Amino acid sequence: MNKDNISKSVIRRLPRYYRFLTELEENGTERVSSGKLAEIMRSTASQVRQDLNCFGGFGHQGYGYSVTYLKGEIAKILGLDKNFKAVLVGAGHIGTAIAAHMKFENLGFRLVGIFDNNQSIFGSKINELEIRDVSELQSFCADNNIDAAFLCIPKDEAPEIVGSLYSSGVRCFWNFTHYYIQGDYPDATVENVHLSDILMTLCYSMNEAVEKNEQS
Partner DNA sequence: TAGATTGTTAATCGATTAACAATC
Q: Which residues bind its own copies (CB under 8 A)?
A: 2, 11-12, 14-16, 18-19, 42, 77-80, 82, 84, 92-94, 96-98, 100-104, 106-109, 147-148, 171-172, 174, 178, 180, 183, 189, 191, 193-207, 209-211
Nearer Cβ to its own copies (46/210): 210
Alpha-carbon distance 1 to 144, whole Å?
Answer: 31
Helical pair 34-41 and 8-26, crossing angle rounded to 10 deg = 100
Closest distance of CB 31 from DNA, Å: 8
Q: State how far Cα 96 lies from the chain centre.
A: 17
Nearer Cβ to DNA (53/118): 53
Alpha helices in the chain (DSSP H): 8-26, 34-41, 45-53, 67-78, 93-101, 137-144, 158-167, 181-184, 195-215
Closest distance of CB 135 from its own copies, Å: 24
Give the interface segment with DNA, choosing from 46-54, 112-120, 141-149, 173-181 (CB under 7 A).
Answer: 46-54
Nearer Cβ to its own copies (60/155): 155
User: Does 7 sit near DNA (CB under 7 A)?
Assistant: yes
Residues 6+ positions from 181 with CB-CB distance below 8 Å: 158, 162, 173, 175, 188, 190
Closest distance of CB 148 from DNA, Å: 25
172-175/148-151 β-pairing: parallel
User: Does 52 sit near DNA (CB under 7 A)?
Assistant: yes
Residue 126, phi then psi, degrees to nearest 5: -120, 120
Which residues 16-45 are close enough to bind DNA by CB under 7 A?
32-35, 43-45
User: Does 15 sit near DNA (CB under 7 A)?
Assistant: no
Alpha helices in 145-194 (DSSP H): 158-167, 181-184
Amino acid at 146: I
Nearer Cβ to DNA (63/101): 63
- Where do contacts with DNA occur on this chain (CB under 7 A)? 7-10, 32-35, 43-47, 49-50, 52-53, 57-65
